[in-house]
Amino acid sequence: MEVVKVIWDFFQSEILGMKWLNRLMGYGLEALGIDVESRIGGSFVAVCTIGIIVVGYCFNAIEYLLVL
């Protein structure tokens, strides 16, 4: 039963919580020289992550208009 809990916790935090995307954005910004530990850098990561999610949902919502 412990294995199921570990798998669910991973799925919930990494997949549903999109922590993988946050880390990926952080690595990319650090590669560009932006300090993600500062307040402005952390805010930038959060805004980008939220923007990606919103754009994805918008494209899913209007997908039927784009597909002929």
pTM of the full structure: 0.45
CA atoms within 13 A on the CB side of 3: 0
Q: Provide the 3-class DSSP secondary structure of residue 38.
A: coil
- What pLDDT is stored for residue 15 in this prediction? 74
Give percent of the chain with pLDDT exceeding 90.
0
Q: How far apart are CA 27 and CA 20, in angstroms?
A: 11
- What pLDDT is stored for residue 41 in this prediction? 67
Q: How many helical (H) and strand (E) elements, i.e. helices and strands, does the chain have?
A: 4, 0
- Read off the pLDDT of each residue in 1-5 and give the average, rounded to a whole number: 87
- 44 with 29: CB under 8 angstroms? yes
- 26 with 38: CB under 8 angstroms? no
- Read off the pLDDT of each residue in 36-58 and give the average, rounded to a whole number: 78
In the predicted structure, residue 68 carries a pLDDT above the cut 60: no
